[in-house]
Amino acid sequence: MERSLVLIKPDGVERRLVGQIISIYERKGLNITALKLVKPSREIAETHYVEHKDKPFFSELVTYLTRGMVCAMIIEGPNVIETVRKINGATDPAQAEMGTIRGQFALSKAENIVHASDSPESAEREIKIWFPEAE
């Protein structure tokens, strides 16, 4: 069974959208096999976003992710990575279709409410960061 890491970022938690967002994944028939609320450390955020380390927005990403609570989930299902990314919508909410999570809830490209793994390799790397106890 394919796995994906999904994060409901601080803006989603602050706006009390966690239940609504989780229900969207569940209604699509996906299985949430692990879930926790956590306030990410700087180390976790930097490790999570390591591929952006040399980009000018890296510091902003880390600050955003560490500013509050995050709902981290492992979601499983057939074609889960592709399915979750379609459900989430384009990174820029102005480009996201209205029926997607970002199309409905995200307020800006910088604060785009959710993260999802973009490949099976990324999923396994990210799951180890957020759920080390799952090994």
The residue from 93, 115, 127, 131 that is catalytic is 115
Query: Which residues, in sequence order, are CB contacts of 72 under 8 Å at separation 6+?
Result: 5, 6, 7, 34, 35, 36, 37, 38, 130, 131
Across-strand partners of 4? 75
State whether residue 20 is helix, strand or coil: helix
Across-strand partners of 34? 74
Residue 115 bears catalytic tag: yes
Active site residues: 115
